[in-house]
Chain A
Amino acid sequence: EVQLVESGGGLVQPGGSLRLSCAASGFTFSTYWMSWVRQAPGKGLEWVANIKQDGIEKYYVDSVKGRLTISRDNAKTALYLQMNSLRAEDTALYYCARIYHSSSGYGMDVWGQGTTVTVS
């Protein structure tokens, strides 16, 4: 079964740090782009970051640049989000997602259930 399972969320004070993890299984992790997407309470979905298969090419939404870092370990089939200098506005449910990316289209076709980060 194709699966993504996030962990590492919790309550942290403003300015603090947290590291989210996403364990992937059931597919060849190293061949997919991966992403973090978040949803603040009562708000819509917000794209946070993408990372290419090799872990070198990375992209971020402007509001998290310099504070949040996406990374991956293909040997462990794991995706990470290192969160530093956290702010109240980072409070959200964080999803990891697999990116389907081909000449025919792009979409996030597998999602985890999310892990909650509260900055307060």
Chain B
Amino acid sequence: EIVLTQSPGTLSLSPGERATLSCRASQTVTSSYLAWYQHKPGQAPRLLIYGASSRATGIPDRFIGSGSGTDFTLTISRLEPEDFAVYYCQQYGSSSSTFGQGTKVEIK
């Protein structure tokens, strides 16, 4: 099983600031199979990025996915008030899937 480790656990930032979230895999992940989600309390998770760097439909261009191999990054270029949430990375491969433990982006 591929373990995904997200860091930091919590990111305290102000609106307008840049957020950089890391997702490190215990084994190489095929880039096509790395996704990022946003999850707010009481809501369903929302797909942000698939294929490591492609934005899902309707996702603003301030959300940027990058990386390959075992190191992936989600960057939010300028935080908007609605961006404060928990973010998860997910990998799919070899007939199984795993999520990272999540990074909470909170208002400073």
A residues contacting B by CB (< 8 A) are 35, 37, 44-47, 50, 59, 61-62, 95, 97, 100, 103-109, 111-114
**Do A106 and B50 have beta carbons less than 8 Å apart?**
yes
Most B CB within 10 A of own CB, among A35, A61, A105: A105
Write the B26-39 contact mask toward A (1 if CB under 8 angstroms, else 0): 00000011010101
Q: Which residues B65-79 have CB closer than 8 A to chain A? A: none
Q: For the complex, would chain A's binding face be called helix, strand, loop or mixed by DSSP majority?
A: strand
Show the binding face of B for A, using Cβ within 8 Å.
Answer: 1, 32-33, 35, 37, 39, 43-47, 49-52, 54, 56-57, 86, 88, 90, 92, 95-102
Complex Cα–Cα for A98 and B56 (A):
13
- Are B95 and A59 in contact, CB atoms less than 8 angstroms apart? yes
Output the nearest chain B residue to A99 by Cβ-Cβ distance: B92
Q: Is A104 a contact of B99 with CB atoms below 8 Å?
A: no
A selection of 18 A-B contacts at a CB cut-off of 8 Å is A37-B45, A45-B39, A45-B45, A45-B90, A45-B102, A47-B90, A47-B99, A59-B97, A61-B96, A100-B50, A103-B32, A104-B50, A104-B54, A106-B50, A107-B51, A108-B37, A108-B90, A114-B44
